[in-house]
Amino acid sequence: MIDKTKNTTEKAVATYLATKNIFLGLLKEVRELSKKKPDAVLSVGKVKIVNRVLKDLKDILDEEPEGKFLDVLDDSELPQTSDAVLVMVQFETALKSFKSKYYQRYQDYDDDFEWKSSWVTTEFLAEYKGN
């Protein structure tokens, strides 16, 4: 059964889907840099690249309970790679929470009681005919 009290928007889902894999790729690279040189400082260019992705994610995650803990990287005081990993792991955790909250499994009564999964958005709920 769909929990109708937990829903998001198609726009937020589109941002999540467009950004998640890019973010995970960046996180993997920053983790590798951190393993090699945890005290190394990220370049201005790297911080800008990471922040473009983090800002998009922050837009959709700000309204979530985890949103108050999320900050982009400080480009005026360039972070060490280990600090960047910490910030990015917070985003990773918030993304997992976002999906577990809004991507739900439900039984479709119009389709021979078949189990399906969907993002629960305001648009989805407008069309959903669950019991």
Please tell me the predicted confidence (pLDDT) of residue 106.
85
pLDDT at 3: 80
Residue 94 near residue 70 (C-beta atoms within 8 A): yes
Parse the chain into domains and list their residue ranges. Answer: 10-101
Rounded Cα gap, residues 102 and 118, in angstroms: 8
Q: Which residues of the chain have pLDDT under 70?
A: 129-131
The model carries a pTM of 0.90
Are 122 and 9 contacting, i.e. CB atoms less than 8 angstroms apart?
A: yes
Q: State the Cα–Cα distance between residues 12 and 80, nearest whole angstrom.
A: 30
Separation CA 92–CA 86 (nearest Å): 10
Q: Which two tokens stand for residue 79?
A: 């972070």
pLDDT of residue 129: 67
